[in-house]
Structures are given as structure tokens and as C-alpha cells.
Structure 1
Amino acid sequence: MISTSTFTTSDFDVTDYTPSIATGLPSGHLRMSKTYAGDVAGRSITQFTSAFDPERGVGTYVALESFEGTVDGRHGAFNFVHAASTSGADRFNEYGVIVPESGTEELTGITGTVRLHIDADGTHRMDFEHDLPPRGTDA
């Protein structure tokens, strides 16, 4: 099943961590909150790491999210990870997966993948292609 949502970000907390090895791109960490609306509704706390040059729009990120809310009306929490590279406006080498065994409550046993889309108007969307055990069964 594919469940789609939009999300907004807030509460950016940039850490002061700087690796002791310098590379061609600055790297760093931040934590942010996201609010999801749609088939997937709720909130997440995202741990975000990147090697990225904002002036050129070049780099790669990896994000681990801890989500709490509902997926198609079923409540619980789970983790998912997503990553991508960019060279300006394009995105490539994308990866996204729901972390196995991370689901709770009615989302226990959730598995699948995630995919981030950014519309031309800047709207951020996340697609969750997932499987959930039928209601009332053990995962």
C-alpha cells in the first residue's frame, strides 16, 4: 500500500559538531521537527547529517526520523531513514526504508520504503510504500 503525506519542518537545532577531518564539502548535523498531514499524519524528530555546500547546492544527506502518529488511521510510532545526493536542483542515489522491528502499537510489524518528493512550488511530500499486518494479529 502507498500512503502519501505532506510535511512542514520547524525547530531547527544545528549542532556545533565539526569532524576533525576536512573534506571538499562542509559537513554537519542538525535536529528538526516535522509535522505530517495526509494518509500519514503526526510528528517526527529528525536527526539530519550532511556533507553539503549550500552556495552550489551540492552534497549528500542522511536522515533518521522517529515518527509518532497514524498511518491510514492506525496509531503508533516507528523509525525510518532516507538519504539522497543533489547537484543543484536534481536528486539522485535516493534511499529510504522503514527501520525493521521499529513499529509500536497498531504499527507493530510495519515494513517498507519511503520516498521524498519536492513539488515545483516547494511543497514537500513523503510517500510510504508499506505493509502492515492485518488488524488484530500479532506481527
Structure 2
Amino acid sequence: MTERAEGTFTLDTWDQEPYDQAEGTTLAEARISKTFSGGLTGTSLTRILMCRTLVETSAAYVGFERFTGSLAGRVGGFVLHHTAGSDGDGSALSWTVVPDSGTGELRGLRGSGQIIGGPDGGHAYLLDYHLP
């Protein structure tokens, strides 16, 4: 049976460094730490590669995030694979649990979800998941 975890997270650190800039497009790497509350309770370390263009609403990123904490009262960790893109029509920010990345009581975790930006600049998430 699929369950859903929902909540919010804060960005504790965001260290970004461009590694290539040419003709209005910037490629950059960011290292991010987060604190989660809600269905996921814990912290994470994330590394993303992103592309920004001269058009402010157009960008994309991919990345991996290692979460450590608890989900549904079970303690452990897992890795999320991020894929995101935006243009003038909106954005899509999705993530999937990397198969077999679960540790501790989260071993066997499968799932996917999304990050939802709030109007106040905050961040919310949802994760639809299955635990054996």
C-alpha cells in the first residue's frame, strides 16, 4: 500500500559556484543542507548541477540528496534523485528514491514525489512511498 509523507523543509546552507559561463548560460554546482519536518523528520545533504539562462524563468537542475532521519516512525536514510525544470509556463520539481538506497529501518523504501514552492518563499514537499 502506498503512503504519503508531507511537510516542509528549510534551506540551512546554499553554497553555489559557477563552473562554466558562455553566451548567457551559466552552469553551476550547489551544495545544500536542509532540515525537514512533517512526515520526514531529519536532515539532508544535497549536491545539484544547474543551468540558468538569460531568461529569468528558464532553468533546470539535476541532483542527489542523502536524507538521514525518520519516515513514519522508522529511522534510517535514503537517497533522492532530483530532476527539475522551469520556463515561463511554470516549473516541475520531482524526485524519486534511488532503488535500494534505503538504510536502517528504511531498507527497501521505494517512492517518488515533488518539491512545492510556497508563495511566501518557503518549501514544502510530498513523498508517495512504499515500505516493505
Q: Common fold, TM-score beyond 0.5?
A: yes
Larger strand share, 1 or 2: 2
RMSD of aligned Cα (Å): 2.0
Matched, 1:9 2:11: yes
> Which of structure 1's runs of 4+ aligned residues deviate more than 6 A?
none
User: What is the percentage of aligned positions where both structures have the same residue?
Assistant: 32
Matched, 1:85 2:85: yes
Paired residues of 1:25 and 1:59 also in contact (CA < 8 A): no
Paired residues of 1:82 and 1:114 also in contact (CA < 8 A): no
Paired residues of 2:6 and 2:126 also in contact (CA < 8 A): yes
Distance 1:48 1:105 in 2: 25
Distance 1:69 1:24 in 2: 40
What TM-score comes out, normalization by structure 1 length? 0.84
- Unpaired stretches in structure 2, ≥5 consecutive residues: none
1:44 — aligned with what? 44
Paired residues of 1:80 and 1:96 also in contact (CA < 8 A): yes
What TM-score comes out, normalization by structure 2 length? 0.88
Q: Superposition pairs for residues 114-129 of structure 1, below 5 Å?
A: 114-129=113-128
- Unpaired stretches in structure 1, ≥5 consecutive residues: 134-139
Q: How many residues align?
A: 130
Cα displacement (A) at 1:55: 6.2
